[in-house]
Amino acid sequence: MLLQILVNGLLKGGLYALMAIGMSLIWGVMDIINIAHGSFIMLGAFITYWLFTILGIDPFLSLLFSVTFLFLFGYAVQRYLINYVIRAGAFITLILAFGIEIFINNLALVSWTADVRKVKVSYGAANFAIGDLVTIPTVRLIAFGLVILISLIFFLILNRTNLGRSIRATSQDLDAARLMGVDVAGTYAITFGMGVGAAGAAGTLWSILFPISPMMGGALTLKSFVVVIIGGLGSMLGPILGGLALGIAEAFGSNWFGATYENLIGFTILVLVLIFRPKGILGGTS
């Protein structure tokens, strides 16, 4: 049973990490706390749902569509909306993101109603057992693999390409980067697009595992936020560590103290991290 709880926690952590990685990227590079993150996840989930329901496209294939669409959408949002206020500071961008969230959620609510929907794939609840000890849900395992893949891609882009160098440069010193000829607005837009694209991937996976509805985003934003804080900004490893830490803590916590305390456990860890390692597990103590 303990092993099963550990596996549950790890896999849930993987899902949390996948949700949070895009938020972490955007926050780390641009200092934007993207409150609308959960809404972008919701959009990814609905893209998968509609492609599956209307055209019969397999959810894993629709990953390509949801990521591409949300990348472009995120790019446009940053380029034509957030870029106008980005110099005004974190608080203003926070409010703008809040507005975007309200807009997206309510547009979704009006267009698709509040119905709870489900992507009904035969393998949604697929699993395999290792002996008698542990049952592993396959889709969650794939989500786990996907988050490692995405973080690897992000890592390679940030560290091995010119685009990555521009992103890091703008993140470290905006004015110097601009003086060196970096197209700051464009870089920002691409970064935001990447983060939102990752949210799209999370949405697709989420839609296979859980029922979806237009108002699902808020809770996901909150979880992503906790994961980002716990993991710390500035590294692709941060959200993974934060997600796993939260997933495992919730799994054991809800086993020992009862399921009602799941959120309490998450936020207790958040507070402890803020007290003792204000920059996150990976972020140092200063």
Q: Which residues bind another protein (CB under 8 A)?
A: 1, 4-5, 8, 11-12, 106, 109, 114-118, 120, 124-127, 129, 135, 137, 139-140, 209-211, 213, 215, 219, 250-251, 254-255, 258-260, 262-263
- Measured CA to CA, the distance from residue 226 to residue 229 in angstroms comes to 5
CB of 210 to another protein, least distance (A): 5
CB of 183 to another protein, least distance (A): 40
What crossing angle do the helices spanning 217-231 and 237-257 adopt, rounded to 10°?
110
* CB closer to another protein, 25 vs 216: 216
* CB closer to another protein, 89 vs 258: 258
| Contact by Cβ (8 Å): 44, 203 | yes
CB of 55 to another protein, least distance (A): 19
The pair of structure tokens assigned to 165 is: 């160098």
CB of 189 to another protein, least distance (A): 32
* CB closer to another protein, 78 vs 105: 105
116 backbone dihedrals φ, ψ, rounded to 5° = -85, 125
- Measured CA to CA, the distance from residue 60 to residue 48 in angstroms comes to 9
* CB closer to another protein, 15 vs 158: 15
Closest C-alpha to 16, from 280, 223, 264, 186: 223
CB of 9 to another protein, least distance (A): 8
Q: Quick one: DSSP state of residue 135?
A: E
* CB closer to another protein, 66 vs 207: 207
Residue 86: how many CB atoms within 10 A of its CB?
21
- Measured CA to CA, the distance from residue 52 to residue 46 in angstroms comes to 10
Q: Helix (H) and strand (E) counts for the chain?
A: 11, 2
* CB closer to another protein, 124 vs 283: 124
* CB closer to another protein, 94 vs 222: 222
CB of 46 to another protein, least distance (A): 15
CB of 124 to another protein, least distance (A): 6
- Measured CA to CA, the distance from residue 67 to residue 262 in angstroms comes to 30
- Measured CA to CA, the distance from residue 249 to residue 258 in angstroms comes to 12
